[in-house]
Chain A
């Protein structure tokens, strides 16, 4: 089996950025690709959810919500031990407690390419994991204080672009059902991989820009951004196994727990914790953890899931 073309597109973007090529995708294209991906993920999840909804799902969803609260609480002391200031530690912890939909798309494509089954309502967990870490992060930084504008913030958090697209797709998928959605199904079948490949080309370019700021952020951030995905993955994999998910499902949950947000959380943190340095969290999640998860992490988490299952 040759190299995975999706990963190769990412490496291509990374190299093109690192050699300071003129290559630059129009900003509108990046937006378009991420909208297509999020909608496709949501639709697919919704269609499958309609077909296999069960009461057990509610318990699983609550457990995943608890995971979203636990992850930043794990990350925060580690960051404090690495001597990050309180506000920065809280902001980075919020990024890593939340999830990256891009990484999710890659793990889905990875499992599909290997014919490994996974619970197809996983997109629901992506939406569930996006929010709690943001609130935990703000509480870690400031405690419960009156000057936090929770109204404006919850607008940002619950009605943000990525969560709206995911939930919108999910609901349309559930309401339409498999037969009615058939004309749209290429979105998450034949079109999914090409869109993901171009998306990762742009992600490679973006990641290379953030790698450049590593020189100013120092080795402590690199240590965190490489170690925490492993801690998150083990936590997610153990939870997935305890919930009785399939090997594929455990791999997806481990990958979600290992990934750090770079769309929803940065925007929310900028408004809620303006004192936190945004370069730190974005460099960690985009420059280090995202490439790490794509290139090394996902195969590793699959082995972990297989080992836990045996």
Chain B
């Protein structure tokens, strides 16, 4: 079985940003995304997802390295200063590289 390497971009941020970030992703050409509700704790305290205003989301995008770096740069410039957000890249092996 032949596997190809692509980049997985994982973004965890406050749920208030959901609509904006999805719009950004579309504009930046992300081939697709997966979104889930998340809970956790970090520099901005416990984010318990108990209700509308203090929830987190976890967003995953699989794409080429270059595109992933573009998205990360955009996120850093637009949101890092004022929002609870972390984001990381990792290499993943996928079966159908043409999809990503």
Binding site for B on A (CB under 8 A): 24, 27, 30-31, 152, 161, 206, 209, 213, 262-263, 266-267, 270-271, 274-275, 278-279, 282
B17 → A minimal CB distance (Å)? 8
Task: Report how many A-B pairs have Cβ atoms within 8 Å.
Answer: 38
Q: Which residue of chain A lies nearest to B46 when distances are taken between CB atoms in the complex?
A: A209
Say whether B82 faces chain A, with CB atoms less than 8 Å apart: yes
Which B22-69 residues have C-beta < 8 A from chain A? 45, 48-54
B16 within 8 A of A: yes
Residue in A closest to B53 when the chains form the complex, CB atoms: A266
Q: Please, how many angstroms separate the alpha-carbon atoms of A213 and B48 in the complex?
A: 14
Q: List 23 A-B contacts (CB under 8 A).
A: A24-B50, A27-B49, A27-B50, A27-B51, A31-B52, A152-B20, A161-B52, A206-B50, A209-B48, A209-B50, A213-B45, A262-B53, A263-B52, A263-B53, A267-B16, A267-B52, A267-B53, A270-B16, A270-B53, A274-B81, A275-B82, A279-B45, A282-B54
Bound Cα distance A152, B21 (Å): 13
Whether, in the assembled complex, B88 has its beta carbon less than 8 Å from a beta carbon of chain A, the answer is no
Q: Inside 8 A of A262's CB, which chain B residues have their CB?
A: 53
Q: For the complex, give the distance between the alpha carbons of A30 and B48 in Å.
A: 14
A161 and B16 CA atoms in complex are apart in Å by 13
Chain A residues lying within 8 Å of B16, measured Cβ to Cβ, are 267, 270-271
A27 to B50, CA, bound (A): 6
Contacts of B82 in A (CB 8 A): 274-275
- The docked-state distance in angstroms from the alpha carbon of A266 to that of B51 is 12
**Chain B residues with a Cβ under 8 A of chain A:** 14, 16-17, 20, 45, 48-54, 81-83
The DSSP consensus for interface residues of chain A is: helix
**Complex CA–CA separation, A84 to B53 (angstroms):** 22
Q: Which residues of A contact B52 (CB under 8 A)?
A: 31, 161, 263, 266-267
Instruction: Say whether B53 contacts A278, CB under 8 Å.
Output: yes
Give Cα A263–Cα B51 distance, bound, in whole angstroms: 10
CB-defined contacts of B48 to chain A, threshold 8 Å: 209
Further pairs besides A270-B16, A271-B16: 11, Cβ < 8 Å: A24-B50, A27-B50, A161-B52, A209-B48, A209-B50, A266-B53, A267-B16, A271-B17, A274-B82, A278-B53, A279-B45
Task: Give every chain B residue within 8 A of A279 (Cβ-Cβ).
Answer: 45
State the CA gap A24–B51 with chains docked (Å): 12
A279 to B50, CA, bound (A): 15
Kindly provide the distance from the CB of B76 to the nearest chain A CB, expressed in whole angstroms. 14
In angstroms, Cα B49 to Cα A27, docked, is 8
Would you list the 10 A-B pairs with minimal beta carbon distance, nearest first? A274-B82, A270-B16, A266-B53, A30-B51, A275-B82, A267-B16, A274-B83, A27-B50, A27-B51, A271-B16
Q: If the complex has contacts A270-B14, A274-B82, A274-B83, are A206 and B20 also in contact, measured as CB distance less than 8 A?
A: no
CB pair B51 A282 closer than 8 Å: no
Provide the bound-state CA to CA distance between A30 and B81, in Å.
31
CB proximity of B49 to chain A, nearest CB, Å: 7
Closest to B84 in A: A278
Q: Which residues of A contact B81 (CB under 8 A)?
A: 274
